[in-house]
């Protein structure tokens, strides 16, 4: 049972975002980057499959030099192989990224392909299903429970307040939701072992793709703005709860018009 896990290297969720000089991207100076939180659930699930059934867990990322750190982190947690497609993915739209990843995935033996349900940051939630379509595989999106046996998978998919149970033959694409599992931390032994694994590196051209079809296509970034700082509104003291409740009701009725 071989798995591929696609990894996105994103700014730490604690970060404050600043706009770069070109007005279109974030300023990466001083930002700490992490493995996108949903990708951690994807990786953990793949590692558990490997522990049960054997095989490889290959982590793949498309991104600049720094994205190798994310792969290193995944190797330390238990991935067995890593493939880094180098490129300025910040200028690629989701379909461009999916094209790169689909080509990369084809170059690696796999029975199942994992993504996080979205990259925390750009928050598109597009690349997993796009890659599934490009590969011609079935997809199950936003998965909270997964069983794999006998060449097929059964997955629970979260929808508005309910859950769907879906069966699909392998190979298939899964996008992981929080709740799928509890991701492990890297052990010291894992960190040491990971150092011995070489990260395979390729360019977009090595995959037989033309960057002109990947970068600044289909969706063009015009600008990035920060939201206006909110000054904070009126404050009231609630030492008399009944009086405070009256004030709140007045706000709900007159300003939110919700009663």
Displacement of CA 139 from its chain's centroid (Å): 15
Q: Which 3 state secondary structure label does DSSP give 171?
A: coil
CB 117 within 8 A of CB 176: yes
Q: Which 3 state secondary structure label does DSSP give 30?
A: coil
**Which of 32, 54, 208, 225: binder of another protein (CB under 8 A)?**
225
Does 181 contact another protein by CB under 8 A?
no
Does 98 contact another protein by CB under 8 A?
yes
Nearer to another protein, 173 or 194 (CB): 173
Q: Which 3 state secondary structure label does DSSP give 70?
A: helix
Question: What is the Cα–Cα distance from 2 to 111, expressed in whole angstroms?
Answer: 5
How many residues touch another protein (CB under 8 A)? 90
- Sign for the CA dihedral angle at 206, 207, 209, 212 comes to negative
Segment lying near another protein (by CB under 8 A), choices 42-50, 73-81, 106-114, 116-124 = 116-124
Question: What is the Cα–Cα distance from 59 to 3, expressed in whole angstroms?
Answer: 9
**Which of 59, 120, 194, 209: binder of another protein (CB under 8 A)?**
120
**Which of 149, 192, 205, 238: binder of another protein (CB under 8 A)?**
238
Does 92 contact another protein by CB under 8 A?
no
Does 236 contact another protein by CB under 8 A?
yes
Does 206 contact another protein by CB under 8 A?
no
**Which of 166, 186, 191, 197: binder of another protein (CB under 8 A)?**
166
CB 101 within 8 A of CB 205: no
Does 95 contact another protein by CB under 8 A?
yes
């Amino acid at each position: 049972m071989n798995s591929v896990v696609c990894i996105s290297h994103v700014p730490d969720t604690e970060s404050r975002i600043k706009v770069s000089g070109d007005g279109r991207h974030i300023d990466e100076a001083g930002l700490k980057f992490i493995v996108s939180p949903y990708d951690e659930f994807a990786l953990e699930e793949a590692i558990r499959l490997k522990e049960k059934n054997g095989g490889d867990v290959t982590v793949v990322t498309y991104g600049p030099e720094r994205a190798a750190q994310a792969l290193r982190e995944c190797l330390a947690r238990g991935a067995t192989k890593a493939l880094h497609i180098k490129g300025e993915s910040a200028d690629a739209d989701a379909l461009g990224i999916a094209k790169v990843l689909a080509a990369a995935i084809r170059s690696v033996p796999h029975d199942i392909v994992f993504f996080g349900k979205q990259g925390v940051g750009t928050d598109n939630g597009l690349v997993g299903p796009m890659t599934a379509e490009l590969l011609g595989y079935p997809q199950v999106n936003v998965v909270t429970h997964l069983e794999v046996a006998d060449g097929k998978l059964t997955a629970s998919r979260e929808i508005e307040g309910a859950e769907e149970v879906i069966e699909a033959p392998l190979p298939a694409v899964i996008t992981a939701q929080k709740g799928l599992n509890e991701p492990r931390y890297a052990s010291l032994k894992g960190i040491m072992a990971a150092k011995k694994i070489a990260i395979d590196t390729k360019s977009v051209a090595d995959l037989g793709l033309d960057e002109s079809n990947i970068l600044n296509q289909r969706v063009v970034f015009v600008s990035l703005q920060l939201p206006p700082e909110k000054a904070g509104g009126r404050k009231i003291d609630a030492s008399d709860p009944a009086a405070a409740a009256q004030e709140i009701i007045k706000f709900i009725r007159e300003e939110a018009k919700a009663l």
